[in-house]
Amino acid sequence: MSKPSRTDVDDLRGVSRMAFDAVAGLGKVVERMHTTIQKGPGAFGASLDVPANGITGLVYRSVYGGVRLAGTGVDALLASASDLFPESGRTHGREAMVAILNGIYGDYLARTSNPLTVDISLRYGGHAVDPCDPTAALRAAGAPPPAAKVLVLVHGLCMNDLRWSREGHDHGAALADQLGYSPLYLRYNSGLHIDANGRLFDGLMQRLVQHWPVPVQEVCILGHSMGGLVARSACDHAARNGNHWLARLEKLVFLATPHLGSPLERGGHWLDFLLDLSPYSAPLTRVGKLRSAGIQDLRHGSITPDGRLVPLPRGVKCYAAAATLAKRRGVLGDRVIGDGLVPLDSALGRHRDRSKALGIPKSRQWIAYETGHLDMLCRQDVYAQLRLWLEE
C-alpha cells in the first residue's frame, strides 16, 4: 500500500470543501421548500425565495454557521498538514476523475479556489510546457527537437490531455510522426465559460509562437467536441486583440464539435424551466443549475458572453468531421441520434437559416458512420481523414 502524498492530502482538502458546501447547499434547498409549504402559495407561480423567520430561521442559520465553522476547521487542518507529506506523481485515474469534476463543477471550483481546480496549460507527455520557455520542457519530456509546424490538440468536456490516447492510438502522436508536426496538448478547466477558456488559450498561443525556438511556419489546431468551440473562441479573441499567432494558423479541424449546440444540455435547461413553474418544485432547480457554465454554454454552442454568432477565422482552412451511430444517412440518424451527443448538423455547422450556418465547404466536411462521440479519438478511418486534410 502506497504512503499518502501531498497530492492525496490536497485532493482530500478539495473533496472536503465540496462536501461541506454541498451540505450547506442542500440545507438551502430544504429551507426554501419548508418556507414555501408554510406560506402555502398556489400550485403555480413565482417561487418564494425568502429565508425562514422566527425560531425556524434561527435553527437554519445555526446549522449553516456550524457547517461553515466545521468546514473552515477541517480545511485549515488539511492545509497545514499538506507540507508534511512528500510530492508524488499523479495517476491517470486520478487525473481523469479531476477532469470530470472540473467539467461538471469547474466554475464553482475556480470561484472557491478549490485545490482540485485545473489550471489551463500546454502539455506534452503529461507534463506542463512553459510557453515562454518551451524548449526546456520538451527536452525534459524526451520530445524530438521542435519543428517549424506546431499541432495543438484541444480536448472536450470532462476530459484532459491524456485522453487523446485511446485504445493505443493518439491522433497527435501519429500526425507528428508521419507529417512532422510538434504536437502540444491543451489542458483546461472545461467547466468554465467557453469564452473564458478561449481568452486564456489565446494568451498561451501568443506567448508560445513568440518564444518557439524555431520560426513557426504553420500552426494547426485539432479540437474535439467542446475543444473545437474553445479553439474558435481563442481565434475570435486573437482577431480582436490583434495577436499575431493567428496569422500562423493554417488549419482548424473540428471533431464532433457542437457548433449549434447539444440537445442534452437543452434538455437540462427545459427541465429547469418546468421545475420553475411551481414554487413547490422551484427549489429543486438549485440542484440542477449546479451544472457548470461550460456545460450550459453547450446548449447553443455559445463561444461569447452574449451568445452572438462568431464567423470562422478569415484566411484559415476549416474542416469538420462528424459522426453518427447510424449505418447510413437519414432523418433519425442525422437529427436525433448523431454520435450519441452531437447531431450531424451541429457538428458540421449546418443550419437551414444561412445566417446561422458556419459555411464550412462541403469538400471539407466528412461523416463517420457507426461511430460514437469518443470513437472519433481512435478510429483509423477518422485518422486517415485527418491526415488527408493536414497533407493538403
Place of cell 452531437: 342
Q: Which residue, of 92, 111, 130, is where some domain finishes?
A: 111
In terms of domains, do 103 and 189 share one? no
Domain assignment present for residue 302? The answer is yes
Highest mean pLDDT range out of 1-5, 84-88, 132-136, 290-294?
Answer: 132-136
Residue 271 is predicted with a pLDDT of 39
Q: Sheet containing 121-124: which strands, arranged edge to edge?
A: 127-129, 121-124, 182-187, 149-154, 218-224, 249-255, 317-324, 365-369
Q: Of 111, 131, 166, which residue constitutes the final position of a domain?
A: 111
Domain that holds residue 374: 121-262+298-391
**291 is a domain residue:** no
Q: How do residues 312-332 score in pLDDT, each as one tens digit?
A: 999 999 999 999 998 866 555
370 and 323 part of one domain = yes
Each residue's pLDDT tens digit, 328-350: 665 555 555 688 899 999 999 99
> Is residue 308 in some structural domain?
yes
pLDDT of residue 362 exceeding 80, the answer is yes
Predicted confidence (pLDDT) at residue 219 exceeds the cutoff of 50: yes
Are residues 355 and 382 located together in one domain of the fold? yes
Residue 232 within any structural domain of the chain: yes
pLDDT in tens, 104-136: 889 999 999 999 999 999 999 999 999 999 999
Domain count, the chain: 2
**What's the confidence (pLDDT) of residue 94?**
85
Claim to verify: residue 216 and residue 126 sit in the same structural domain? yes
More confident residue, 189 or 50: 189
Q: Indicate whether 226 belongs to any domain.
A: yes
pTM of the predicted model as reported, rounded to 2 decimal places: 0.82
pLDDT confidence of 82, banded at 50, 70, 90? low
Q: Report the CATH number that the domain containing residue 129 is assigned in CATH.
A: 3.40.50.1820
Q: Based on the domain organization, do 74 and 188 belong to the same domain?
A: no
Same domain, 200 and 321: yes
**Lowest mean pLDDT across 47-51, 64-68, 236-240:** 47-51
**Same domain flag for 105 and 133:** no
The yes-or-no verdict on residue 18 having pLDDT over 80 is: no
* Interval 196-222 mean pLDDT: 97
Residue 272 lies in a domain: no
Decide which of 111, 133, 165 is a domain's last residue: 111
Residue at grid coordinates 452574449? 306
Residues 332 and 232 in one domain: yes
Residue 253 shares a structural domain with residue 367: yes
Q: Check whether residue 355 and residue 234 sit in a common domain.
A: yes
Both 107 and 155 in a single domain? no
CA angle, residues 288, 293, 299, in degrees to nearest 5 = 80
**Do 213 and 242 fall into the same domain?**
yes
- Mean pLDDT, the chain, rounded, equals 82
- What is the pLDDT at residue 316? 97
Residue 151 has phi, psi (to 5 degrees) of -115, 125
152 located within any domain: yes
Asked if the model's pLDDT at residue 277 lies above 80, the reply is no
Residue 269 domain-assigned? Answer: no
CA 269 – CA 285 distance, rounded (Å): 10
